[in-house]
């Protein structure tokens, strides 16, 4: 069964539970857990098998850290393809070919400059070796999970779409304030995932079901995509030098109905959950039908911290555009001050070199709190703006419909 087939089957889709905590429970503690796919493949496979026997419809590979930034800390960048293949093989050894193996990959732990050391291209390339190897090894879907920065997630989705033919799912983790570490609201994450072609969107880690419930509601209101929710077994507690998760399988089962009623199409577990938790969730969802979602939602624009209806954003633009021919570095700070009350901002890049557009967005867009719309004069300018902008936008300019479609932007003509 393909992942897409599983995603649209009748009833609630059940994912597996925690991997790291299961490895630790067996005494398999390694500085680089992904190495265990080679050194202890049978033991990793046994965890996958236990989740399958508990009733999981999908299992996730033991590959969370397989991006080049994380693996560079272990001196193992060159081993990523082999480790990715071993991760998929371990899953297949455990569950066979009957259910999908989702290739799990997590955040780099770094950020784009100026908040971190990464360039756009370095961040993009951080995911490519693992994605390519996972596809070759037979993974069913790329599961881009535990994401806390919408910019990074967007770049990872671009790499997945451009470098493989696999479906992809971004899954985000949120703080107690209901936003990611980088301040991204759930609705913006959901809108961006849908516009960039994800087959589903997820929420994982973050806390227990109660902590995730407001996020689930906000995402459900913003997207028609299938929604996958994988909470921890409660908020972690540090007792006697050991991290523990308080919720028993029965505790989880008692708290998950609210998640289902809020519109989750699939559930599972994250940190602290075990095959016993998944088995109890299988009992919970037996006979439960998939929630019905609207066929369409209002068209919206999103940036890191806002989501605006398209018509509202367009109506608010007025004349908020840089003067053609002006330099971005000279005008940007004053322009942002002048447009402080605007619902959106229109950036005219029709007289700006593509390299300058890309540099501006990589360095300055995180200071912006409202969506940007772009006016471009040619395809190279449009490509630079749409590729480097972290949000859903609209594009003006001659003959740029194809560029807009490629990045999920609204095309508004010339």
**Predicted pLDDT of residue 325:** 47
Is residue 199 located within the same domain as residue 249?
yes
The beta strands (E) that lie in 193-292 are given as 201-205, 227-231, 237-239, 242-244, 266-267
- What is the rounded CA–CA span in Å between residue 370 and residue 316? 11
Is residue 55 domain-shared with residue 126, that is, in the same domain? yes
Give the per-residue pLDDT at 320.
53
Q: Give DSSP secondary structure letters for 311-329.
A: HHHHHT-TT--PPTT--HH
Amino acid 28: pLDDT: 87
What per-residue confidence (pLDDT) applies to 321? 55
> Which domain, by its residues, includes 195?
3-285
Q: CA 57 to CA 126: how far, in whole Å?
A: 29
CATH assignment of the domain containing 53: 3.20.20.330
Shared domain check, 281 and 324: no
Helix (H) or strand (E) holding 359: helix 354-364
The Cα 358–Cα 278 span in angstroms is: 45
200 and 312 assigned to the same domain? no
Last residue of a domain, one of 259, 285, 311: 285
CB distance 357 to 381 below 8 Å: yes
Q: 215 and 93 in one domain?
A: yes
* Same domain, residue pair 181 and 216: yes
215 contacts: CB under 8 Å, gap ≥ 6: 174, 178, 186, 203, 206
291 lies in a domain?
Answer: no
Which residue, of 285, 318, 351, is where some domain finishes? 285
384-411 pLDDT tens trace: 999 999 999 999 999 999 999 999 999 9
214 & 322 share domain: no
245-251: long-range pairs with CB below 8 Å, 24+: 245/21, 245/271, 245/272, 245/273, 247/208, 247/272, 247/277, 249/274, 249/276, 249/277, 249/279, 249/280, 249/281, 250/280
Cβ pair 302, 334 in contact under 8 A: no
Average pLDDT of the chain to the nearest whole number: 92
Per-residue pLDDT, 329? 57
- For the stretch 229-264, pLDDT in tens is 999 999 888 877 778 899 999 999 999 999 999 999
For residue 338, the tally of other CB atoms under 10 A from its CB is 12
Residue 292 lies in a domain: no
Contact 59, 16 (CB under 8 A): yes
Q: Tokens representing 309?
A: 């209806």
DSSP per-residue codes, 52-93: HHHT-SBEE-S-TT-SHHHHHTTT-GGGHHHHHHHHHHHHHH
Check if the beta carbon of residue 290 is closer than 8 Å to that of residue 11.
yes
Inside any domain, residue 290: no
Q: Give the containing element (helix H, strand E) for 372.
A: strand 372-375
275 with 332, same domain: the answer is: no
Note whether 121 and 160 are same-domain residues: yes
Same domain, 311 and 255: no
204 lies in the same domain as 342:
no
User: Would 295 be classed as within a structural domain?
Assistant: no
Per-residue pLDDT of the chain (414 residues; tens, 9 = 90+): 789 999 988 899 999 999 988 998 888 888 899 999 999 999 999 999 999 999 999 999 999 999 999 999 999 999 999 999 999 999 999 999 989 999 999 999 999 888 889 999 999 999 999 999 999 999 999 999 999 999 999 999 999 999 999 999 999 999 999 999 999 999 999 999 999 999 999 999 989 999 999 999 999 999 999 999 999 999 888 877 778 899 999 999 999 999 999 999 999 999 999 999 999 999 999 999 988 888 888 899 998 889 999 988 888 775 455 544 455 555 666 666 666 677 888 888 898 899 999 998 888 887 777 888 999 999 999 999 999 999 999 999 999 999 999 999 999 998
pLDDT per residue as tens digits for the range 171-211: 999 999 999 999 999 999 999 999 999 999 999 998 999 99
Q: Is residue 392 part of a domain?
A: yes
Structure confidence at residue 377 (pLDDT): 95
Residue 127 pLDDT = 98
Token pair recorded at residue 215? 């996020």
Last residue of a domain, one of 230, 255, 285: 285
3-state SS of the chain: helix, strand, coil percent to 5? 45, 15, 40
**Residues 97 and 245 both lie in one domain:** yes
Which residues, 6 or more positions from 244, have their beta carbon under 8 angstroms from its beta carbon? 236, 237, 238, 272
The DSSP secondary structure of 329-341, one letter per residue, reads HHHHHHHHHHTTT
Provide the domain count of the chain.
Answer: 2
Domain-located, residue 293: no
Q: Are 180 and 172 in contact (CB under 8 A)?
A: yes
| Residue 383 resides in a domain | yes
Unique residue bearing structure tokens 């004053």 = 334
């Amino acid at each position: 069964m393909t992942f897409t087939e599983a995603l649209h089957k009748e009833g609630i889709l059940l994912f597996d539970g925690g991997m790291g905590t299961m490895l630790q429970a067996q005494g398999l503690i390694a500085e680089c857990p992904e190495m265990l796919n080679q050194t202890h493949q049978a033991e990793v496979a046994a965890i996958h098998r236990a989740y399958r026997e508990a009733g999981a419809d999908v299992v996730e590979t033991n590959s969370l850290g397989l991006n080049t930034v994380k693996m560079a800390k272990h001196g193992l960048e060159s081993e990523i393809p082999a480790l990715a293949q071993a991760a998929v093989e371990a899953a297949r050894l455990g569950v066979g070919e009957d259910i999908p193996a989702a290739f799990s990959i997590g955040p780099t732990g770094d950020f784009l400059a100026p908040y971190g050391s990464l360039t756009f291209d370095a961040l993009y390339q951080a995911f490519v070796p693992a994605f390519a190897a996972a596809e070759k090894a037979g993974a069913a879907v790329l599961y881009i999970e535990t994401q806390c920065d919408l910019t990074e997630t967007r770049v990872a989705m671009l790499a997945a779409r451009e470098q493989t033919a696999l479906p992809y799912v971004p899954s985000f983790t949120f703080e107690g304030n209901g936003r990611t570490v980088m301040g991204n609201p759930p609705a913006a994450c959901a809108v961006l995932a849908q516009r960039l072609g994800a087959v589903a969107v997820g929420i994982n880690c973050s806390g227990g079901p109660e902590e995730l419930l407001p996020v689930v509601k906000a995402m459900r209101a913003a997207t028609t995509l299938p929604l996958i929710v994988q909470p921890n077994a409660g908020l972690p507690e540090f007792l006697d030098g050991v991290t523990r998760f308080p919720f028993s399988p029965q505790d989880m089962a008692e708290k998950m109905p609210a998640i289902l009623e809020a519109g989750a199409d699939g559930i599972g577990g994250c940190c602290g959950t075990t095959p016993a938790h998944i088995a109890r969730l299988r009992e919970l969802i037996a006979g439960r039908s998939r929630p019905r979602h609207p066929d369409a939602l209002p068209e919206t624009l999103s940036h890191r911290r806002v989501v605006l209806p398209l018509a509202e954003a367009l109506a608010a633009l007025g004349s908020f555009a840089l003067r053609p021919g002006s330099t971005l570095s000279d005008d940007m700070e004053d322009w942002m001050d002048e447009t402080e009350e605007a619902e959106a901002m229109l950036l005219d890049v029709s007289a700006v070199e593509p390299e300058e557009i890309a540099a501006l967005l990589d360095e300055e867009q995180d200071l912006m709190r409202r969506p940007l719309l772009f006016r471009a004069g040619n395809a190279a300018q449009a490509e630079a703006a749409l590729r480097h902008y972290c949000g859903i936008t609209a594009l003006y300019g001659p003959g740029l419909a194809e560029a807009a479609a490629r990045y999920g932007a609204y095309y508004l003509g010339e």
